[in-house]
Structure 1
Amino acid sequence: NPNFTPQQNEEVYEECSRGHGHNYIVEVTVKGNADPQTGMVMDLKKLNRLIKQEIYTYCDHKNLNQDVTFLEGVIPTAENLSTVFWKVLAPKIKDANLYRVRVCESQKNVAEYYGDVLN
């Protein structure tokens, strides 16, 4: 957090207060009624292309604190990333309703965002 002293960052974020990387897993879930002709709520290939285009293109192998314009001023925790990714993707998903964005930092550290609804 740029508003914290180095000591405060160390106390709050521990080892994550220093520069490091993650191999995030991002899961996006949509909901809606399946099309009777296709049996699909949405073409998942289309959804995957959208995720690659809008998220991975900008975030993969990047310093999230410095290199990603839409993350400027955002502390890149899994919680914040899931929220920002939702805001990026939701207006672009036309064929279904965005239900959940899940960001896995590790097997034990996971954050899910469901829009403005608290679950």
Structure 2
Amino acid sequence: MVVATRRFEFSAAHRYWRDDWSAEENERVFGPYTSPYGHGHNYTLDVSITGELDERTGMVMNMTELKAIVNEVLEEFDHKHLNYDTPYFRDQVPTTENLVRVLWRLIAARLPAHARLKHLRLYEQPDLWAEYDGVGETQFARLYTFAAAHRLHAPALSDEENLAIYGKCNNPNGHGHNYTLEVTVQGPIDPATGMLVDLEWLDRTVHSVIDRLHLRHLDREIPAFADRPSTAENIIVYLWNELAPLLEGRLALLRLWETRKNIFSYAGPSVIPA
């Protein structure tokens, strides 16, 4: 089936706070998000629908109709304080993870029978978002950056073969990139905090790995690339192998941008059936 996606935007404020916790406990868990006045975001929501194509119109659903439905839902949230101006967060914290599930419920209920909600991605910030497909567990993703130099050179190949395969990327003195790493975790949402994962813990964990690569020459300073070419494919597998144990089974996907045009994804080693 064809999947069609439309992007929407709305602005809202929120505060992370539980009335049944002490101020000390709230501040320990939520940090600056506990500000009594709240803070705000320009949210971006990607709404994906699917269904059989209408033979007459050639569309899954008229985007004008989808726009009207979603905007009707977002009217409840746009330029509102989620804690105080909506009924959905009286008994749950308005985290991105909880908000995307509330939006799913409201949008899915309004769609016509011939279209089905396929996927929602809600950006709280350009480098932080939550995803939900209505069936599985919620996903939470964050972007990180590091800068490193490397040289594409395979020890098993001759100098001539390396030059023929890697071209100018085989420059003996190396070259470099500003890498962007997308880390997606998946799992149940903690009913107390409304979070899939503690953001500060996630940041510390990811940085404990990528900071070893930041401002380094991968081939000359990172042992893992002493005997293998530092291709983006090998880098992303290395990052998975380092991060997966630290993220305690919650790592779902890594995506690595070597440049704006070269993007690599990895979801862990394939399981080969017996």
| 1:4-52 Cα shifts (integer Å, max 9, x gaps) | 2222222222222221111111121111122122121111111111111
Bigger relative CO (Cα 8 Å, ≥ 6 apart)? 1
Amino acid at match of 1:51: V
Quote the offset at 1:75 in angstroms.
1.1
Determine if the alignment matches structure 1 residue 92 to structure 2 residue 110.
yes
- Indicate if the aligned counterparts of 1:71 and 1:84 stay in contact, CA closer than 8 A: no
CA distance in 1 between counterparts of 2:57 and 2:19 reads: 49
Q: Name the SS of the counterpart of 2:100 in structure 1.
A: helix
Determine if the alignment matches structure 1 residue 34 to structure 2 residue 53.
yes
Q: What is the match of residue 14 of structure 1?
A: 31
Aligned with 2:132 (options 92, 102, 113) = 113
CA distance in 2 between counterparts of 1:27 and 1:16 reads: 25
Q: What is the match of residue 67 of structure 1?
A: 85
CA distance in 2 between counterparts of 1:43 and 1:70 reads: 29
Unpaired runs of 5+ residues, structure 1, are none
The structure having more radius of gyration, on CA atoms, is 2
C-alpha RMSD of the superposition: 1.6
Q: What is the match of residue 79 of structure 1?
A: 97
The alpha-carbon distance between structure 1 residues 59 and 85, as it changes in their structure 2 partners (threshold 3 A), is same
- Indicate if the aligned counterparts of 1:22 and 1:105 stay in contact, CA closer than 8 A: yes
Quote the offset at 1:116 in angstroms.
2.4
Q: What is the match of residue 67 of structure 2?
A: 48
CA distance in 1 between counterparts of 2:19 and 2:25 reads: 10
**Please, what TM-score do these two structures have when normalized by structure 2?**
0.41
Q: What is the match of residue 20 of structure 2?
A: 3
Quote the offset at 1:61 in angstroms.
0.9
Identity, % of aligned pairs? 34
Amino acid at match of 1:48: K
CA distance in 1 between counterparts of 2:57 and 2:101 reads: 30
Greater fraction helix: 1
Amino acid at match of 1:34: L
CA distance in 2 between counterparts of 1:118 and 1:75 reads: 18
Number of residue-to-residue matches in the alignment: 118
Quote the offset at 1:70 in angstroms.
3.4
**Please, what TM-score do these two structures have when normalized by structure 1?**
0.88
Q: What is the match of residue 121 of structure 2?
A: 102
Quote the offset at 1:118 in angstroms.
3.5
Amino acid at match of 2:25: Q
Unpaired runs of 5+ residues, structure 2, are 1-17, 139-274
Q: Name the SS of the counterpart of 1:50 in structure 2.
A: helix
| 1:70-103 Cα shifts (integer Å, max 9, x gaps) | 3432311110000011111111111311111221
Quote the offset at 1:108 in angstroms.
1.6
Q: Name the SS of the counterpart of 1:23 in structure 2.
A: strand
CA distance in 2 between counterparts of 1:7 and 1:116 reads: 36
